[in-house]
């Protein structure tokens, strides 16, 4: 489905990003895996992708750093000869009630979750526009749609990502590039693994389907949006949340 394409996935060393990178590799895409700290995990993702039979390389990058992102994107384009797909998945949380949230916690979360997406779109847009089927996929959140107590920074960033998605979709449509957002609900990742069983039970009781989602379920949608099958879909925000926000 994605054979001959090059996909750049930020936050690719774990969770949703890892699942997206591996499923895109399984569908034939070469993979540039962006990570911030866990080199071993990123290399492991690339090793699995290589075993599948595609080209894969890990790149360490602080996505919130404009200059560092620019240099990383140049390296990727040199290594792979171009980019067809960009998945902005890198994200962090620093939860607290608004009255207790520090400026640094707000700035850091917005920097990674929102500015990081801007940085990669900014620096890869020319390469993606050269593709015959350029695709940009931003991983937002239901917190960016409905808000969430204790997540003023995260919700603001993820909501901003939706606005960025719609603007990029309009600006790049003339070049045949689509830009869409996926808004996951509660997904079984490292972030949710640390929650107490009581909180997990509360979460699941609030979801109409009565369970958390799996990273692979987000990856399936990402692969569809990256493929030719989604060529007439752009500027959309698709929730994968078990019915939380319906």
Rg over CA atoms, the chain: 17
Q: Comparing C-alpha atoms, which of 73, 75, 70 is closest to residue 86?
A: 73
Q: How far apart are CA 226 and CA 239, in angstroms?
A: 16
Task: Identify which of 173, 190, 161, 136 has the alpha carbon closest to the alpha carbon of residue 8.
Answer: 136
Q: Which long-range contacts (CB under 8 A, 24 or more apart) does 148-151 make?
A: 149/97, 150/95, 150/96, 150/97, 151/93, 151/95
- Quick count: other Cβ atoms within 10 Å of Cβ 201? 11
From the list 35, 59, 154, 232, the catalytic residue is 154
Helical H segments across the chain, by residue range: 15-26, 39-52, 66-80, 103-110, 116-130, 143-146, 152-172, 190-193, 197-206, 215-226
- 154 as an active site residue: the answer is yes
In the Cβ-directed half-sphere of 61, how many Cα atoms lie within 13 Å? Answer: 33
Helices 103-110 & 152-172, crossing angle to 10 degrees? Answer: 30
Task: Give the phi and the psi of residue 136 in degrees, each rounded to 5.
Answer: -120, 130
Which of 189, 187, 59, 182 shows the shortest CA–CA distance to 124? 59
| CA–CA separation, 242 and 113 (whole Å) | 23
Catalytic center residues: 154
């Amino acid at each position: 489905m994605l054979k001959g394409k090059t996909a750049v996935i930020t936050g690719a060393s774990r969770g949703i990003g890892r699942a997206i990178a591996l499923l895109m590799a399984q569908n034939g895409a070469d993979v540039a895996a962006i990570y911030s700290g866990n080199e071993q995990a990123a290399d492991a993702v690339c090793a699995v992708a290589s075993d599948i039979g595609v080209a894969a390389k890990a790149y360490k990058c602080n996505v919130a750093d404009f200059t560092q992102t620019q240099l990383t994107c140049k390296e990727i384009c040199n290594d792979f000869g171009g980019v067809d797909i960009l998945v902005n998945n890198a994200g962090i949380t620093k939860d607290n009630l608004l009255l207790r949230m520090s400026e640094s916690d707000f700035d850091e979360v917005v920097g990674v979750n929102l500015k990081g997406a801007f940085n990669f779109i900014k620096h890869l847009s020319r390469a993606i526009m050269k593709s015959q089927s350029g695709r940009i996929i931003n991983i937002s959140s239901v917190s960016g749609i409905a808000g969430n107590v204790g997540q003023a920074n995260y919700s603001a960033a993820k909501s901003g990502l939706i606005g960025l998605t719609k603007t990029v979709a309009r600006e790049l449509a003339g070049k045949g590039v689509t830009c869409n957002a996926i808004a996951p609900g509660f997904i079984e990742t490292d972030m949710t693994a640390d929650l107490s069983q009581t909180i997990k039970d509360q979460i699941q009781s609030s979801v109409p389907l009565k369970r958390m989602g799996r990273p692979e379920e987000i990856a399936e949608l990402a692969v569809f949006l990256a493929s030719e099958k989604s060529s007439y879909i752009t500027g959309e925000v698709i929730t994968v949340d078990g019915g939380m926000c319906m």
